[in-house]
Amino acid sequence: MLPILYSLQHCPYAMRARFGLVMAQQQVMLRAVVTKNKPEEMLAASPKGTIPVLILPDSRVIDESLDIMIWALQQNDPEDLLHKDNTSDLPAMIELIERNDQEFKPQLEIYKKAKRFHQKNEIEERQKCEVFIAELEQRLTIKGLSTDGGYFMGQKPGLIDYALLPFVRQFSRVNRSWFVQAPYPNLRTWLDGHLQSRDYAKAMAKYPLWLDEHEECLFGGI
Ligand SMILES: N[C@@H](CCC(=O)N[C@@H](CS)C(=O)NCC(=O)O)C(=O)O
């Protein structure tokens, strides 16, 4: 019996959960859904109706993306993304992820909307996002860049890098021509390194919609 993951291809939270599962080499049965047509089985397990949702074989439900990542890495963490030997890292990583979700992500939505509708406030709204983006750039800069782009916390990859990746990716895609020449060279290298990785390709593999096929797909594993 494997856990079941309700997933949405381009949702940054679902991507985050999939990154956690891939990095933990945790196999799940993936059910690809769309927000317009949420399966009753998913809503019965998690009435709040957000994606991702992970249902464990013992029927426990984990319906927050960060909790899914942490659960998966607590089962198996071959790259030590939880930084077990540095006990202050995990709370610090969680704090930064919460700031991403509560402050950066809502502002990113405003920026995306301003760009999409060609509003006059696009630059202003982007600059509000850049407060967080500049902080991430600074984190990479302080440590000096390694060939794979560096890490947000400590001297190795962590939960934080994978949890923020979908959101930095979204930001970079709002106005690509601006981003490629923006003053965030280290963040660009960090992002490109991830986007070109095998783990990223694994996490972003496309599956047929579960609602159409009613067939679960095996996801993750080594
Ligand atoms: N805090 C949640 C947020 C998840 C979330 O908001 N997911 C979006 C899709 S990207 C969603 O399901 N929204 C509900 C909807 O669109 O109906 C988590 O981290 O898992």
Domain ranges of the chain: 4-80+200-219, 89-198
Query: pLDDT tens string for the chain (222 positions)?
Result: 999 999 999 999 999 999 999 999 999 999 999 999 999 999 999 999 999 999 999 999 999 999 999 999 999 999 999 999 999 999 999 999 999 999 999 999 999 999 999 999 999 999 999 999 999 999 997 765 555 668 999 889 999 999 999 999 999 999 999 999 999 999 999 999 999 999 999 999 999 999 766 778 899 987
Q: 89-198: what fold?
A: Glutathione S-transferase Yfyf (Class Pi); Chain A, domain 2 (1.20.1050)
Q: Which of 9, 10, 13, 48 to mutate to test the pocket of ligand 1 (most atoms within 8 A of CB)?
A: 13
With a 6 Å cutoff on the Cβ, whether 26 touches ligand 1 is no
Q: Do 4-80+200-219 and 89-198 agree at the fold level?
A: no
Structure token pair of residue 80: 């030590």
Arch. (CATH architecture) of 4-80+200-219: 3-Layer(aba) Sandwich (3.40)
In 3-state terms the chain splits into helix, strand, coil percentages (rounded to 5) of 55, 10, 35
If you count them, how many residues does the chain have? 222
